Structure 1
């Protein structure tokens, strides 16, 4: 999740360096889920990861850089898109993936913390945008293929279709205490498909 760290498409470090990064990012995620950005202390992360404080401070430097690298790692580890042959099937698979992630106690808390961090830290905000750009890029072909099949109007903004699927799920996560279940995911997918078919996402 950094601009200075390892990004998608770059060669990941191997051996001990990779093991240290994995342990540190896991520990950082745990701290964020438990205490939010305010509780993200590099020394505490190093202790939890059983890594040297000097190594952690030299490699990441600040909590924001650590959050950014965590987001990069999350984007790299995210599951690939599902192709069912229909737009509704594809977007329902996307919505259910988002729903399972956000409904998970650790992952849901982690995303709340990262989103909160992005509201007050420029590095975290940039990293969050990169994370979602990677995910939208992964799933965008589902909508593009629907245009090619004639399921959606020509000129549809296919990236906006993908964003429209997850937006209601994040809204529910952040603004209500209502359960984030598969029914909510399916409604989000169905609403995005209906809007896309109606031309809501067609560019002028």
Structure 2
């Protein structure tokens, strides 16, 4: 009788352990299906549902930037494109500054770090339409082809590649504003001054020896 009870207890414990392991495995699979594993920010593949959530997040970040009236974004597959709406009376230099600020605000985000930022009205409207197409169930392949085309034809600001602008040398900056003949004369003069300075340094060294 004691042996029977012992065997029954062992079998019961074994079954309980198996059930617990199975439950943990199922739970782990459910969690893994909801997690996006970001191996590399430049190699993120995003599906339809997740893309809409990420798009809303990038729009929120972009609209925090001063002088951005509105923003839209499409994130799908390896592509993330953010369109911003700015005042139409701003000059190109000012618009570029705003785009740079938006890029700065996105560069630490795993998806925003590789986002393409557009500020022209046509692209903004098209991105809005593409966002609606995704919500309405348009085939993803078609949307991705359009995104690839947009990315390929623009010269975007890409946050992950942001570099601090290098201040031009004052002399070089002035040179760019001169006519070509005067520019050549100035360059020759600067070269002569540099050569004279080197000759003086050599003369001093010889004299000291």
**TM value normalised by structure 2:** 0.24
Structure whose CA Rg is larger:
2
**TM value normalised by structure 1:** 0.25
